[in-house]
Amino acid sequence: MAQVLEFKLPDLGEGLTEAEIVRWLVEVGDVVVVDQPVVEVETAKAMVEVPCPYGGVVTARFGAEGTELPVGAPLLTVAVGETAADRTGGGTDTAAAADAPRSAEADGRTAAGEGSGNVLVGYGTSEAPARRRRVRRAEPATPSAPAARGVNGTVRESADTPSGAPAAVADGPVPVISPLVRRLARQNGLDLREMTGSGPDGLILRADVEYALRAAATQSRTEAPSGAPRTHTAPAGVPAAAVPDGPGVTRVPLKGIRGAVADKLSRSRTEIPDATCWVDADATELMRTRAAMNAAGGPKISVLALLARICTAALVRFPELNSSVDTAAREIVRHGGVHLGFAAQTDRGLVVPVVRDAHTRDAESLTAEFARLTEAARAGTLTPAELTGGTFTLNNYGVFGVDGSTPIINHPEAAMLGVGRIVPKPWVHEGELAVRQVVQLSFTFDHRVCDGGTAGGFLRYVADCVEQPAVLLRTL
């Protein structure tokens, strides 16, 4: 007799807590083998094909394409150890299983003697997962009004609560995985203990919190006295929810890569006291040096690789800028190696791939790694490890045909160098006016890790190397 095993969305690493189903790769009734990709999901980092650790017949799928699932939610069930006769006569059972979720039998036994060579976090290579009960999805419970928080962080009783009526707040842990959900609720004074989540096992999702905030805003408008002027005040963090949409208005969900970018940039602006300085530099000699390198034969050297090599040399001289701030410990963490991120614009949004140990690479190696990571970014195949762990970012926005910018630091890093387009401009060279190749360099830094003198020294050294690449020979 077949054993039905439930495959849950695994932990995809790097602190990711949820993923969106982009495309199912199998149908109910399909036969799958161990480690066969069964679904393509999009995390906040990249597109990932998820392999199934079991072999057998797919009996149910959980979630339509476009559905966002938390880590640990069921993806599909697989009938393991089913014989050909069972498959022939078991069509009715299979169809029924597609409509009703089936729980997994675990008990620590090996699934039909097969083991997955693809080790997923939360899944071993041979043991089946533990039994899990699915909770039917319900409409999120909405509190009558969000609890108002006092200045000292305490929760005040709502104006709609009858006097003397105790507030019903459940004890025990709140079923929330995502820290973003907790923050959204905290910023708007919403008590999560008063809510019932719509996720698996009552898990509270971001959609539940946003639904509760919209309902509370709507209720506050409808309960206003008919003769009194109405003030449309939306909870902080979701002002658009309180404003009715007019004709032609389109709402685009902030999720996937766009949502991750929004969260990270907002956090950077909130936490980091940044400052920006900039300088124009004559890049004529740098371009001549690159032309001479490429004329000598071998792989072509990119301008970005030369700028990256300059950055790594500058960070050796100014290590304060290759750091991050541990706010909990109130410490500045200086990193031993330079893991260089670079901004790459793709059809799916902005991503920042990371070149590991960039300080150990020459211009030829940097060019090859930039090309590889850029191609993977455009194809959407970057792994979470290739998108995290950066210590400094290089942003070449000159490819968009602009000269300058004030970059937003890639949290939790402490600095970012922005490079504008290199164009012919009038320039005083050796006492005479000449047309030279000029570039604007913008440098944004975290003022907690250093003062303006250090940042200015870094930028000036970078500009000197751009104007006279031979300066780099002192450290090669």
Catalytic residues, by residue number, are 447
Q: What is the distance between the alpha carbons of residues 194 and 209, in angstroms, rounded to a whole number?
A: 11
- The 3-state DSSP class for residue 65 equals coil
The DSSP code sequence of 91-144 is: HHHHHHHHHS--PPP-TT-BSTT---SS--BT--SSBPPPP-------PPP--S
> Cα separation of 200 and 386, whole Å?
30
Closest by CA position to 139, among listed 208, 237, 49: 208
What is the residue type of 263? D
Query: Which residue(s) pair with 32 in the sheet?
Result: 56
CA-only gyration radius of the chain, Å: 28
> Is residue 384 a contact partner of residue 45, using CB atoms and an 8 Å limit?
yes
At position 98, the amino acid (one-letter code) is A
How many CA atoms within 13 Å lie on the side-chain side of 198?
A: 17
- Number of Cβ within 10 Å of residue 63's Cβ equals 18
Helices (H), 331-397: 363-379
**Which contacts qualify for 146-154: CB closer than 8 Å, 24 or more apart?**
146/188, 146/189, 146/190, 146/191, 146/212, 146/213, 146/216, 146/235, 147/189, 147/190, 147/191, 147/194, 148/189, 149/189
Query: What gap in Å lies between CA 334 and CA 320, rounded to an integer?
Result: 7
Residue 285 amino acid letter: E
Torsion sign over Cα 346, 350, 356, 362:
positive
Largest CA distance in the chain: 92
